[in-house]
Amino acid sequence: GAAAEQAAGAARVLADQLAFMVSFRRAHVRTGNGAVAGGSVAAGVATFDPRFLVFEFSGGLVLRPPQVKLLDTLVAGASNGRSVCHQMLMGEGKTTVIAPLLGLLLGDGSQLVLQIVPAPLLSFSLAVLRQCFSSAPLLKSVWTFAFDRRTAVSAELLNKSLTAVSERALMVTTPSAVKAFMLKLIELLHLLDTGQYPRNRSTLAQGLRRIFGLKRSQPQSLALDKPTLQAQAARAVKILGVWRHGVAVIDEVDVVLHPLRSELNWPLGDKHALDFAPVRWELPWHLLNLLFIAQEATAGKTAPSGLNGNGGGAANTGGMTVAAAEENIKERLLAVIAFGLSQNTLQRVPHLTLLSDEFYHDKMRPLLAEWLLLWLRRNGLHEVSDEAALRCLVRGVEDRGLHAQITDRQAKLLNLGADWLAFLLPHCLKKISRVHFGLLSPEEMATMSRDGVLPRSRRYLAVPFVGKDTPSPSSEYAHPDVAIGLTILAYRYEGLRKPDFGLALQQLRFAMESELGVEGRRPASLTWVAWVEHSGRRVRGTKQRRAQTEESEGGSVHARRLTGASNASPASRRMSSSLSERSANDAASEAESAIGAAIGGDGDINMWDILPLHLLDMKDVEYMEMLFDMLTRSPLAVRFYLDTLVFPETTAHQNSKLSANGQDLGGEMLFSRRIAFSGTPSSLLPLEMGECAHQLGDDAKMLRTLTEPGVVSRHVLPHDWDVPTLLAAAAAAELGAHALIDCGALITGMNNIEVAQHLAAILPERLEGVVYLEQGGHKKVLLRATGSTMDLERSGLPPERRFSFYDQVHTTGMDIPQASNAVAVLTLGKDLTFRDYAQAAYRMRGIGKGQTIVLFVTPQADRLLTNEAAIARGVTPEGRHAQLAA
């Protein structure tokens, strides 16, 4: 049967591997004239380097000829003062064999060997090196070099570098730490030259400490005097001298030196307020909010009113009121989005994501321009006709005659709107939350604060991510409008964090205490009422006031909410929603049903009213938890927090900055000799590195393997796919998969342990555990029998009885042993490059030698692939689709 055939296939694979191992001699044993690690061999004499033999014995392996040849090339280059970049196919032992042997051969007590690895591989590389050099005769210390902007260049750091040389220790670090050290030296010299000193003026951080009773994590010792600066600079120069005399070994060089993936910026100088605030964040909020309304409606939810402004009044919209015009645009946009989803030019998982610039500019941009025009009318743009304004929103204010008729503020409004519609908005809509950008979690902030500096901009604004659930350790968005747009999206997708919610609520309390009048009718209290009612609940005591107000003013609160004519303050009205699509009775009925279901009975909604703002007890943990769960994703609360606390405090900019990227690591500024290697090297190398030496035949071998139908097959996911259905398909017994490699970053909304738990519940019984990777790269296994986790190395589970999950950030360089005939599911996403695809596929070290791949392709990625194939064939995408359909 199938099981017997599978067992026979596995036996053939093992037999081939065994025959290969016993059929070749030790490659490092030489006869005749040749060079072995820099030495010469007399004719007719067989010699070997004992270090190779001891390494083989200690590691229980046999060095292959390509490995020995590559080591000879790299060591000879370093000995001759040259830098070398070389290709070596994935799975050939770069991290587990080449890197440790380079440390053994080059760490001779005269020079420092500094290994630079991508941050996700730091823990894995350290574990490999320490395992290799943990016992005699290969006993060698393995240290780390950690550095960031807040780190002082201390005497201990200098002594550590000097001791590493004398004791032949290996030092391992990340690209960010090396670049930070370089910028630190430049910053010290800059401070000595100018006499400027950094100061912490974060009123937002001060507010957090005041509210929560927190103390400073470190004393404010930033007033550095000149002797201290001079001492640090002198030590930094000495460390740089050690580096210059040593050797840098760069693993995964294409990632480390990529100029667009490795930039580190340190702003300098005084901060200046962002020009044209607060319009710079109010305008994108208005645009993005419409898309959230449409996304909720498209997902089958009733779109809440949507914070679109005050409504009411007539505008130059063809005779329609603003409310009617807004409803008309919403309906048309919903139809466009539904069409885009059906054509796979938009993606709905994990949220609405743009896949086609052409679709955006042809279908979405005209409607968004009309929507933005309504907002511009409410913000003072009255002297321009609709036709002229829409033309400006498309091309900017280019008409000199029109520019003379409008004010500078109106020109800024039109130009800012044109920028957002032309490139800022589509750029933001292409990004996926928690994959390309996101907010730092409280745990991540605590870790980064403990390990180094965490500026307030990174605390409260969205930051770039280097992979799924992996924020960049130090990078920030340089363009303020991009940072604003992605921050709005991040808070809307992820919600307020607990510190955010506490600060927003306390700020609202402070505002109420400073206002005059009856406590329940103060503007801040009415803002609180709006938050609660928008969530489907009600503030205690508002029913009677609502009835009295309706009787005296002849209109319902719901009607006032539609027109924006509430009694709330202007700020409250600006943050309140309009265009609600459900009646107050429907909302009350839904809320009552939800509460009834939660408590297991009918439940009277009047018994579950929320306390007024002035009666809230901020120390009642249980009640605050309930409010947090209710309001964490409230657009009203999010906007209040962003408008009053985040953007005013964090969007100030500095005119100067220090910048470094991967090219600085590959140049001669820091290291006179660099040894670099990768399975998929890039040609983006500094001139000082020279050209990369590609291994003859490796690219062809890789291409042939990854395009061989017997090795790689494909499965197109259904149009309504989501994460649970994808996991179920990967775990299906008929597929027989042993691994899920998520290089397409399709598994979102779940962390690695949650994915492991989900898989453990649905995998076939023959699989007894699920292997996953922790944030630092530590390998863990979740045992199905007990539900407990333990280190993979201690579990004793053989590869054929376990399932491995590789999250996106660990699909490069990570090594988890698999069964010789294992099947792996590999996901394809819209942003996947061939380099990342190849790296992910070769996590299966026996691919093409018994191990196979099944590609899980989303319909959206399938469309992109078809369109690219059509271009290559010289036909239109429509024509290619017709060919495939036929």
529: exposed, middle or buried (Cβ count in 10 Å: 0-12, 13-18, 19+): buried
Output DSSP code: residue 422.
I
614: exposed, middle or buried (Cβ count in 10 Å: 0-12, 13-18, 19+): middle
Q: Average pLDDT in the 854-861 region?
A: 95
CB neighbours of residue 36 within 10 Å: 18
pLDDT at 199 over 50: no
pLDDT at 235 over 80: yes
pLDDT recorded at residue 654: 81
pLDDT recorded at residue 1: 60
pLDDT digits (tens, 9 = 90+) for 260-301: 677 888 888 788 889 999 999 999 999 999 999 998 888 754
pLDDT at 575 over 80: no
pLDDT recorded at residue 545: 55
pLDDT recorded at residue 136: 81
pLDDT at 35 over 60: no
pLDDT recorded at residue 690: 84
217 pLDDT tier (thresholds 50, 70, 90): very low
Higher-pLDDT residue of 443 and 46 is 443
As given in the structure block, the two tokens for residue 78 are: 């370093």
pLDDT digits (tens, 9 = 90+) for 62-89: 888 889 989 999 999 999 999 999 988 8
Chain region(s) in the chain for CATH 3.40.50.300: 49-199+232-259+663-689
pLDDT digits (tens, 9 = 90+) for 364-373: 999 999 999 9
pLDDT at 804 over 70: yes
Q: Average pLDDT in the 374-378 region?
A: 94
pLDDT recorded at residue 695: 82
As given in the structure block, the two tokens for residue 864 are: 């992109």
187: Cα separation from own chain's centroid: 28
Mean residue pLDDT of the chain comes to 84
pLDDT recorded at residue 14: 73
pLDDT digits (tens, 9 = 90+) for 590-625: 444 443 443 333 444 334 689 999 999 999 999 999
Ranking 111-115, 353-357, 501-505, 564-568 by mean pLDDT, the lowest is 564-568
Q: How would CATH label the architecture of 698-885? A: 3-Layer(aba) Sandwich (3.40)
Residue 611: closest CA among 522, 511, 497, 529:
529
Residues in a beta bridge with 355: none
pLDDT at 192 over 70: yes
Q: Average pLDDT in the 402-410 region?
A: 85
Residues 6+ apart with CB under 8 A from 862: 344, 716
Ranking 141-150, 502-511, 863-872 by mean pLDDT, the lowest is 863-872
pLDDT at 759 over 80: yes
pLDDT recorded at residue 722: 94
Separation between Cα atoms, residue 875 and residue 756, nearest integer Å: 44
**Amino acid letter at 302?**
T
pLDDT at 308 over 60: no
Length of the chain: 886
As given in the structure block, the two tokens for residue 710 are: 């017997």
pLDDT recorded at residue 3: 64
Which range, 196-205, 546-555, 848-857, has the best average confidence (pLDDT)? 848-857
User: Would you call 115 helix, strand, or coil by DSSP?
Assistant: strand
Do 563 and 548 contact (CB within 8 A), yes or no? no
Do 810 and 120 contact (CB within 8 A), yes or no? yes
pLDDT recorded at residue 24: 67
Sheet holding 437-438, edge to edge: 437-438, 463-467, 470-471
pLDDT recorded at residue 592: 43
341 pLDDT tier (thresholds 50, 70, 90): very high
Residues 6+ apart with CB under 8 A from 341: 298, 347, 348
866 pLDDT tier (thresholds 50, 70, 90): confident
Ranking 101-115, 730-744, 862-876 by mean pLDDT, the lowest is 862-876
Higher-pLDDT residue of 873 and 779 is 779
**Amino acid letter at 819?**
A
Do 610 and 538 contact (CB within 8 A), yes or no? yes
Q: How would CATH label the architecture of 49-199+232-259+663-689? A: 3-Layer(aba) Sandwich (3.40)
699 pLDDT tier (thresholds 50, 70, 90): confident
User: Would you call 371 helix, strand, or coil by DSSP?
Assistant: helix
pLDDT at 241 over 70: yes
Separation between Cα atoms, residue 113 and residue 104, nearest integer Å: 9
pLDDT recorded at residue 870: 86
316 pLDDT tier (thresholds 50, 70, 90): very low
Q: Average pLDDT in the 688-717 region?
A: 91
Q: Average pLDDT in the 764-790 region?
A: 93
pLDDT digits (tens, 9 = 90+) for 99-156: 999 999 999 999 999 999 998 889 889 999 999 998 888 899 999 999 988 889 999 9
Residues in a beta bridge with 284: none
